[in-house]
Structure 1
Amino acid sequence: MKIALVQPQPLSSDPAQILPIIETWVNGVASLGADLIVLPELILPGYNRPEDHRAQAQPLGGEWCAAMGDMARKYGCAICYGWAERLGDEVFNAASVFDKSGARVGHYRKIQLFGEMERASFAFGAEPPPVFDLEGTRTGLLICYDIEFPEHARALARSKADLILVPTANPVGYDHVPDLLVRARASENAVTVVYANYTGPDREIVFGGKSIIAGPDGQAVAQAGRGPTTLIADLPKPSDYPGEVISVQFSDLRSFS
């Protein structure tokens, strides 16, 4: 599987403007042979837009989902993106994955909300992160702060995930997340982690970029710098690496009785 990751500057809070931009990205990476594109957290309607989260949130299966499914089918490229989901009176920080046929194969509501803004805007997710088949690969889904907790990545690995997708919105000052924690989650579980961030200012927040595709050896298959960019890389497999560089901690772990 060829994976694309887009690290954009924050967009407007108008979905009518955001969706055509996303379509341009999908078209562009699909023309380069990408099978999957991963976008940041809350790309719809924007991360640092608390006044819009409740006002613009949509139900699962609404217009945004329909648009993403149509794009995936039109360009033959799976899409992973973050968005604000309404369910009854609650709003969730959610992420969904559509496969190349336009079918929704993965959906998740963020468990670990970060900071005052998120906790004021969203309800905590209550369902475990999913594992699903994507292009023949067992794939899991987390959002931003979730990946900083070893337990969540380990739960996905226990469900036989080989790939973990992580839409994120990581500010400057937190470089230890892509540079250390994401790599550690990949290494200790022998999985690939795709961590897609924004870059640049969004009101009072400045995002730190440094999006990364971390391989099962814990090293960067590809990593962005501070500027807007698109990464494209082939999904690595543990069998691509010498045995001594792949951790066996997952299979060796023992529990206290």
Structure 2
Amino acid sequence: MKVKVALAQFNISFAAPQKNRERVAELTAAAAKKAADVVVFPEMWNTGYALDQLNELADEQGQETEQLFYKLARQYQVGIVGGSVAVKEGDHFFNRTLVVDPVGQVVGRYDKVHLFHLMNEHKYLTAGDQENYFRLAGVPSASFICYDLRFPEWVRTVARHGADILYFPAEWPAQRIEQWKIMLQSRAVENQAFVVAVNRVGDDPDNHFNGHSLVIDPLGKIIVDAGEKDDLTMAEIDLDQLQKVRGPIPVFVDRRPELYK
């Protein structure tokens, strides 16, 4: 079985939700023209890290994003791993992923569990506490957000359900991009899964982002590196490779969770 994924690596317009929604619609249309099964977006694409403006900018209950993805998924018959957006619920703000299947049904929701102090997320956002395990394009999958990558115990906790693809939307600054690559390769190898990671490009007032969205196979080989371009990058995932990796080295069978404390 093969799945065609589109990495929607783009320059997020700071504090401009409508402009970013238009760009997401354009990229979804482009992904459909390339016969993508799934299109994946970066983290906080609706607002960027305009955290001090979330009261005015955040999507109320996530409804605008959900309606947009519903329309796009049905129009183009494509699955969407919606990166993440800033969402407002009462007095709380969340960094939230929505996953939508090709008929527009939300099959996954995830609020970022690990908040990144270096970018002041803890001052503005509320952390999530739930896993996001779902099926998309017929594939058991899981998703995380950016800083979650640095917590292999969390990724393994979710991956143990049998996820074949692990999705990581991010806004990962250029100065730490080599760590991004190393850790993504590690998460692929240790969980014997494909990794699809989508970063942004461009600048906000405090950071420079240089992309390098990746697709990595379960042996840690980089299948696709999107480089630093603001564009759509395509990759094909051959899921038949999984059994060849998992069969000889059954790490999930050989685990000793009673010792991991």
TM-score (norm. length: structure 2): 0.90
Aligned to 1:138: 140
5 Å-filtered alignment, 1:51-66, equals 51-60=52-61, 62-66=63-67
Deviation at 1:243, TM superposition (A): 4.5
Aligned to 1:149: 151
Deviations 1:148-203 (A, max 9, x none): 21112111221111111111000011123332100100111111111110112211
Deviations 1:47-66 (A, max 9, x none): x2123323222244512210
Which residue identity does 2:65 align to in structure 1?
W
Aligned to 2:222: 220
Give the conservation status (yes or no) of the 8 Å contact 2:80–2:99: yes
Which residue identity does 1:55 align to in structure 2?
E
Aligned to 2:75: 74
> CA, structure 1 residues 161+202, in 2 after alignment: closer, same or farther (shift >3 Å)?
same
The 10-residue stretch of structure 1 (141-150 or 59-68) with the greater mean CA deviation from structure 2: 59-68
Deviation at 1:245, TM superposition (A): 10
> Which residue of 216, 232, 235 corresponds with 2:234?
232
Give the conservation status (yes or no) of the 8 Å contact 2:14–2:50: no
The 10-residue stretch of structure 1 (194-203 or 57-66) with the greater mean CA deviation from structure 2: 57-66
Aligned to 1:177: 179
Query: 2:65 aligns to what SS in structure 1?
Result: helix
Structure 2 residues not aligned, in runs of 5+: none
Instruction: Please give the alpha-carbon distance, in whole angstroms, between the structure 1 residues aligned to 2:79 and 2:244.
Output: 30
Structure 1 residues not aligned, in runs of 5+: none
The 10-residue stretch of structure 1 (169-178 or 190-199) with the greater mean CA deviation from structure 2: 169-178
Aligned to 2:123: 120
Give the conservation status (yes or no) of the 8 Å contact 1:138–1:162: yes
Which residue identity does 2:127 align to in structure 1?
F
> Which residue of 21, 24, 27 corresponds with 1:22?
24
Deviations 1:195-242 (A, max 9, x none): 110112211200131111111111111112223232211123253685
Q: CA RMSD in A?
A: 2.0
Deviation at 1:67, TM superposition (A): 1.1
Number of residue pairs matched by the alignment: 255
Instruction: Please give the alpha-carbon distance, in whole angstroms, between the structure 1 residues aligned to 2:134 and 2:244.
Output: 27
Aligned to 2:207: 205
Instruction: Please give the alpha-carbon distance, in whole angstroms, between the structure 2 residues aligned to 1:5 and 1:103.
Output: 21
The 10-residue stretch of structure 1 (188-197 or 112-121) with the greater mean CA deviation from structure 2: 112-121
